[in-house]
Structure 1
Amino acid sequence: MELDTPVLDNHMHLDPDYGRGLDAVEDFARLGGTHLLVVNKPSWHLDVEAETGEDFREVFERTIAVVEDASELLDGRAWPVLGVHPGLISRLVDERGFTPEEARNLMQAGLDVAAEIVEDGRALALKSGRPHYDVEDAVWDASNAVMRHAFELGAELDCAVQLHTEGSDDLTEVADWAEDAGLPAEKVVKHYSGGTLAGPIPSVMSEKDRLRVAAETGEPFLMETDFVDDPDRPGAVMGPKTVPRRVRWLLEEGHDDAVRIAHVETPRTAYGIKTRNHL
């Protein structure tokens, strides 16, 4: 089946040094993928142990470079999404001796650098969140402060914020925090979502069961693989061919409206991007 639609993977990582890099993009494009949102890998995965906010710039610049190369392989284009992985706080506190407050300040400073790049037009959105595992109260509070700082930056820049958080079907409180900061909830995107989510826009992992639920709601959603591009975990979390394959499946199941919502309407609403205009 030829795909007469844009096909966007909302959350993918690319590592040209140690992973598959552009080979993964070629696989995505060969199956009909047209657009990518590429999120920087966690800083420590790129051997960056940040001491200052400025130290994150290397991570962001490496991501921008691979995104530029990826765009050359797509009928559409790729965009960078830049930020500080919320799991860093545990690395800082548990392994490097930071207090939660010191870790909060460093992570917020890293987001400030990412925001500069978004403001310059070289990245599309910010990435933040909080740990998806149990942490002590002080770490949880510091993580929430980092996330709320990302919302403030997103509001200033009028850009989306992608979130990495605990699994949930109700993050209304988090969306309310974004609204309080001046960032509309429709510009808050929950990475690694199930088929339904109250509050932010769900970026649904591209498993058939989750997608069927999302498609039947008629609500805004996005699709993703969270491909991690790690040579020690080939194909994890999902391979780069998955989203195009699932789009074909959705169309075969008669979910044409859901495909339009996920790959045209929601990208425009959340990120201000026009996927059809790039084909």
Structure 2
Amino acid sequence: MNADLDTPVLDDHMHLDPVHGRGVEAAAEFADNGGTHLLVVNKPSWHLLEDLPSGAADFREVFDLTVDVVERASEVLPGRAWPVLGVHPALISQLVDDGRDPAEARDLMQTGLDVAAEYVADGPALGLKSGRPHYDVSDAVWEASNDVMKRGFDLAAEADCAIQLHAEGGEDFTEVAEWAEDRGLPAGRVVKHYSGGRLQGITKSVISNKEDLEVAIEEDEPFMMETDYIDDPDRPGAVLGVKTVPRRVRWLLEEGHEEAVRRAHVETPAAVYDIDTEGTLE
């Protein structure tokens, strides 16, 4: 058990960049400050590779880099780290700007998700990552992006795993929940990363600002905590620094929110990802 905080401390969405960033060093800093478990989401392919992906092999290269850094991160954590693999929804804009039409971009991104699902089926990855742009796009790009996300739901249902979404702001994701349920994926296994404290339809992974966490606790619903740390040497500490989740857990415990801490770091991860953050602690 985490001797300092006496609880598992999970960051539900963090990036580790083994090519340009701190990589395992960031995970070690997380552990030094009380963190125990990480869900590490692969960085967008164009951040790790010099070129945009053109086929399955390029996605495999990104996923292999992520799996490797996660394995090494697990060695420095009191608990462990798991990879979450998939495609960043902004890739569609990169591909369209590069000359592909939205349907071609959709097909390539769905190929990336197909490859990611293999990593879930074969064991190293815990879940999938998809979503849709959080900025204004054309109707064709929006429709294609929803098709990519729906493919993610199909694959997550088939693999019996969770899927994290990068999507627009807002609190009503009941339509998205219906799309998942229609494909055999329980809505509770769909996670909106970078969520505020209030969300309808799917599970919220709350960006760990105090005010957002206070709202999540008031809502009295399942939630998790994240930093969306991006491990970019040009933007140190962005989005939130690696120390943030352990610090917020310490603050929540000082404020008497033991039940909320258990919900965010033990109960919700178990329900969503089928992971045991207590049993995987040294």
Shorter-chain TM-score category?
A: over 0.9
8 Å contact kept, 1:53–1:111 = no
Q: Residues 38-187 of structure 1: matches in 2 within 5 Å?
A: 38-47=40-49, 48-94=51-97, 96-187=98-189
Structure 2 distance, partners of 1:155, 1:218, is: 27
Q: Secondary structure of the equivalent of 2:279?
A: helix
Question: What residue in structure 2 maps to residue 263 of structure 1?
Answer: 265
Q: Secondary structure of the equivalent of 2:158?
A: helix
Letter in 2 for 1:148: K
8 Å contact kept, 1:13–1:228 = yes
8 Å contact kept, 1:12–1:36 = yes
Q: Secondary structure of the equivalent of 1:278?
A: coil
Of 200, 207, 210, 1:208 maps to 210
8 Å contact kept, 1:54–1:110 = no
Q: Residues 222-241 of structure 1: matches in 2 within 5 Å?
A: 222-241=224-243
Q: Secondary structure of the equivalent of 2:191?
A: strand
Q: Does 1:221 align with 2:233?
A: no
Deviation at 1:217, TM superposition (A): 1.8
8 Å contact kept, 1:86–1:131 = yes
* TM-score normalized by the length of structure 1: 0.98
Q: Secondary structure of the equivalent of 1:276?
A: coil
Which structure 1 residue ranges, 4+ long, deviate > 4 Å from structure 2? Answer: none
Structure 1 distance, partners of 2:18, 2:213, is: 30
Q: Secondary structure of the equivalent of 1:222?
A: strand
What is the number of residues matched between the two proteins?
Answer: 278
8 Å contact kept, 1:194–1:204 = yes
Deviation at 1:52, TM superposition (A): 1.2
Structure 2 distance, partners of 1:185, 1:113, is: 23
8 Å contact kept, 1:108–1:146 = yes
Alignment RMSD, CA only?
Answer: 0.9
8 Å contact kept, 1:124–1:159 = yes
Gaps of 5+ in 1: none
8 Å contact kept, 1:18–1:231 = yes
Deviation at 1:218, TM superposition (A): 1.6
Letter in 2 for 1:74: L
Deviation at 1:213, TM superposition (A): 0.7
Gaps of 5+ in 2: none
Q: Secondary structure of the equivalent of 1:128?
A: strand
Structure 1 distance, partners of 2:23, 2:113, is: 25
Deviation at 1:2, TM superposition (A): 2.1
8 Å contact kept, 2:19–2:48 = no
Structure 1 distance, partners of 2:143, 2:218, is: 36
Deviation at 1:17, TM superposition (A): 2.2
Structure 1 distance, partners of 2:108, 2:260, is: 40
Structure 1 distance, partners of 2:220, 2:258, is: 11
Structure 1 distance, partners of 2:163, 2:89, is: 13
Question: What residue in structure 2 maps to residue 17 of structure 1?
Answer: 19
* TM-score normalized by the length of structure 2: 0.97
Structure 2 distance, partners of 1:16, 1:60, is: 12
8 Å contact kept, 2:52–2:95 = no
Greater CA deviation, 43-52 or 198-207?
A: 43-52
